[in-house]
Structure 1
Amino acid sequence: MDKHHNKSTQKDYKRHKTDSKNLFVGGLIVLLIAVAPFVFYSYKGLPNDSQVWETPLFTITTSYYSINAYAWFIVGKVVPLYLLLLWFFTCKHWWHWIILVPIAMYSFQLWGIFNQNRNLDELELYYILPLMMFLVPAVYLVRAKLFSNLRKDDLKSFEEELMLKKTAWQQIKDLFR
């Protein structure tokens, strides 16, 4: 009787320890999401009339209109980037890899801001295109394989279905069935 009670107590302790850890991690994620608007509007506390910002620790010089505008560009990319990263690392769905496309887009835009390139949204498409050419078909094939396994279709019937001539509307409807 004591052994059974002891095992039950150990399981309850382990479950409580896991629940406490999950609560802590969940609370941290909620805090990171809740602090996003404050991080975004932090640029308002920076100088609005100068292209140079000197502090005892560092000096920032920008070719943008002002330090305030430069910070606005940065937080406009950093906040969505860190929210997307948070979503990517906490998402348990099979499609979460496609979130890498907007993560790459914001990363290249942020890189352009740090290099103080005025053509912010022009060149990152050329860098993101190879990623998209690999990632989008890979995610779609994973989706097709999952749904094929769910319906118990074999690969031959899947290929036959792909060869059928369908209207654009039928193809779109098939994507969501």
Structure 2
Amino acid sequence: MDRLQQKSKKRKENSLNGVNNNLSRTAILGTIIATFISSTPLLYLLHESVPDTAVWDTFLGTYESGFWESAQYAMWVYTGKVVPLILMFIWFFTCKHWWYHALLVPIVMYSFQIITSYHAELENTDENQILILLPVLVIVVPSIYLIRAKMFNKINMSNKTLEEMEAEFMIKPKGVWSKVKQYF
């Protein structure tokens, strides 16, 4: 009987260590994400370290501001679009709600703005965004509405709460990479 109790005790210890190990990974990842989010004002202010000249020489290469006429102004434009895009990606990959696909719309919008800002030879940088966003909107908006309608139909037919319905509709990939692979 002693050996059986010892084996049982070792199994409990091993299972507790696995939970603690998983918990510590989650805590570390959460700490990294929270630190990055809280440091985004510093990322946004990086444009102030760029010289106010048309050509900026760095160890990575030379940047010519072209249409913007000032490297500092160009970096201000880029940081004003890249920082929200990064925050949207973090929100998208960490969101646990059924509606997180709606975040694809602002992600595509900011991506399009960055691309058109890079090709700043066009005078009207933020024009015609709706033409690029339209295919995304055509897919995302009806699918979110259908999921919502299906949820509320099931709520009316059953005794489940809204949280239980959200959990039922939620797609739960095991990690960030599997969540990315889910879309491609």
- Structure 2 length-normalised TM: 0.79
Q: 1:53 aligns with which of 51, 56, 61?
A: 56
Question: Which position in structure 1 is the counterpart of 2:177?
Answer: none
Distance 1:11 1:147 in 2: 39
Q: 2:157 aligns with which of 152, 157, 160?
A: 152
CA displacement at 1:137 relative to structure 2: 0.8
Paired residue secondary structure (1:112):
helix
Q: 1:138 aligns with which of 127, 138, 143?
A: 143
Question: Which position in structure 2 is the counterpart of 1:11?
Answer: 15
Does the C-alpha gap of structure 1 residues 90 and 5 become closer, same or farther in structure 2, counting only changes over 3 Å?
A: same
Question: Which position in structure 2 is the counterpart of 1:66?
Answer: 70
Correspondence list, 1:90-105, <5 A: 90-105=94-109
Paired residue secondary structure (2:124):
coil
CA displacement at 1:129 relative to structure 2: 1.0
Distance 1:40 1:56 in 2: 21
Does the C-alpha gap of structure 1 residues 56 and 22 become closer, same or farther in structure 2, counting only changes over 3 Å?
A: closer
Superposition misfits of 4+ residues, deviation over 6 angstroms: none
Distance 2:147 2:123 in 1: 38
Deviates more, 1:89-98 or 1:113-122: 113-122
Question: Which position in structure 1 is the counterpart of 2:128?
Answer: 123
CA displacement at 1:56 relative to structure 2: 4.0
- Structure 1 length-normalised TM: 0.82
What stretches of structure 1 of length at least 5 have no aligned partner? 154-177
CA displacement at 1:119 relative to structure 2: 1.4
Deviates more, 1:110-119 or 1:87-96: 110-119
